[in-house]
A and B are shown apart, each in its own frame.
Chain A
Amino acid sequence: MRLINRHPDRVGLVFLAAVPFVLAFIAYAVGSGMRLAINPADKLLPAPSHIARTALALFTEPDKRSGTILLWNDTLVSLRRLTLGVGISTLIALVTGLLIGLVPYIRATLSGFVAVLSMIPPLAVLPILFITFGLEELSKVVLIVIGITPVLIRDTAGRVLDIPREQIVKAETLGASSLTIALRVALPQILPRLIASVRLALGPAWLFLIAAEAIAAEAGLGYRIFLVRRYLAMDVILTYVVWITIIAFVMDRLLLTLSRRAFPWSGAGL
């Protein structure tokens, strides 16, 4: 049988999916063990058990000075920035993308502009944001918005243009106005695709968030990582990295589930 026609069974699927995780863990444990054998005080690759103890402390022990558990506080602060930024971007992209996709006059006006905007490296304008919006929350949210909105707009507009011409004409023959076509034909059909685009944009959104927090913040996951870097606290950094990864993964799955539940007519949900 050809290689491309061989499929793992259910047990095989779970096993194969676990293999790279297990291998990565073993590789780390071995590397860490080798370094610690030479120098027990080595901070670069702390032992897994050491990381686990640190993680437990980070998740449960309140900070002596402020009385709050720093990790949870950092998580809340960062998630607030992230959801605000991604939420605002999604709304802007939805409205603008619909308009560009449906209205030729707006398309003629905006599509070139958005295409150029999306080429600006967002991190290059970060200093401008700090100067304009201050070092507080606003500049971080704005960085995320600037970073992901142009791509989301282009994606959304493209999806609107992908709707078969026949469907739009059909709606016209049923007497639909431009607004009705936007709300009843285009909007519901691009929503699942918009969610898919947002899932892809979450990666860059985290990148911009952590970059902004690393440079100027008083709390946040990115802030903490770059703060403890000074003490070479790899156990803290690794805990935070794993935690961020878990959060990002859960967000992605939640959006996928939402898309399947809310739009059963699209794709796999059928």
Chain B
Amino acid sequence: MSFVQVRGVFQSYGNRPIIERINVDVAEGEFISIVGASGCGKSTFLRLLLAEETPSKGSISIDGAAPAVEPGRERGVVFQRYSVFPHLTVRENIVAGESFAAPLGRFWGARRRAALERADETLARIGLNHVAQNYPATLSGGMQQRLAIGQALTARPRILLLDEPFGALDPGTRLQMHDFLTDLRAQTGMTIFMVTHDLSEGFKLGDRVLVFDKIRWDPHDPAAYGATITYDFDARDGGIPYQLKEDTDVLETA
């Protein structure tokens, strides 16, 4: 049985369908990129994976467990913005990855000292040890996102969800972040879902690229149908679709 199972998932807001008939199986350790037109429901799908929302129909389960009803430690997340705590220093943000699960969200005494040491190791690994005492607002966008990813991984989630994590970064920083994420992934073997609107980024980082699009279209009522997964590319050998081996102009519509 696959690690992440998505079965017949529909999500509507009010009577407006956003995504429909989503079925995916993901193996542990796979890196899934999700691409699609703006507003087609990529973030919605991520919120469902995160269990921030429950689907109108269908179910999502991780490692055979019952579908979650709210976010928890088994799902890590990094958003495009607001993913770190502005009132905590860089170091305390990493410690929070461990201590927030403790009663009152704090460690004391020896446990706190040990967590601080581990936080310093993490900061050295993600290249932020020189700004450990700073507040996030003083960091560049790329550093903030590195911190956010480091913090999420500190909680040791089963899957990591990234919603356009590099969308607000300049191209140079973005390339550095690709290397950073590739390295972290090699070290942790984490299962990752990443939404991006940059197709080449999706293919570069992902093992698979899922394309979200509407297959049913009512010209009189564009909102009548939701989007679904139209293509599921294997991105490890040049992006050949599982379903359609020859059709390549899907890249333009995506």
**Inter-chain contacts of A171 with B (CB < 8 A):** 85, 96, 100
Q: How far is the CA of A158 from the CA of B152 in the complex (A)?
A: 28
B interface, by DSSP: helix, strand, loop or mixed?
A: loop
Known: A169-B52, A174-B97, A270-B138. A179 touches B83 (CB 8 A): no
Query: Could you tell me if B79 and A166 are in contact, using CB atoms closer than 8 angstroms?
Result: yes
Taking a contact as CB atoms closer than 8 A, the residue among A169, A188, A264 that contacts B71 in the complex is: A169
Binary CB contact string for chain A from 182 to 216 against chain B (1 if under 8 A, 0 otherwise): 01110011000000000000000000000000000
**Inter-chain contacts of B81 with A (CB < 8 A):** 164, 166
Known: A169-B52, A169-B71, A174-B155. A263 touches B87 (CB 8 A): yes
Q: Mark the stretch among B2-10, B101-109, B203-211, B246-254 that contacts chain A.
A: B101-109
A interface, by DSSP: helix, strand, loop or mixed?
A: helix
Binary CB contact string for chain B from 41 to 52 against chain A (1 if under 8 A, 0 otherwise): 000000000101
Query: Could you tell me if B83 and A176 are in contact, using CB atoms closer than 8 angstroms?
Result: no
Query: Could you tell me if B77 and A169 are in contact, using CB atoms closer than 8 angstroms?
Result: yes
Residue A63 at the chain B interface, CB threshold 8 Å = no
Query: Could you tell me if B105 and A184 are in contact, using CB atoms closer than 8 angstroms?
Result: yes
Query: Could you tell me if B72 and A175 are in contact, using CB atoms closer than 8 angstroms?
Result: yes
**Inter-chain contacts of A179 with B (CB < 8 A):** 104
Q: How far is the CB of B192 from chain A (nearest CB, A)?
A: 14
Known: A164-B82, A175-B72, A175-B155. A169 touches B50 (CB 8 A): yes
Give chain B's interface residues, CB within 8 Å of chain A: 50, 52, 70-73, 75-77, 79, 81-88, 96-97, 100-101, 103-106, 135-138, 148, 151-152, 155, 157
A-B contact pairs, 5 of them (CB 8 A): A170-B151, A173-B71, A184-B106, A185-B85, A270-B138
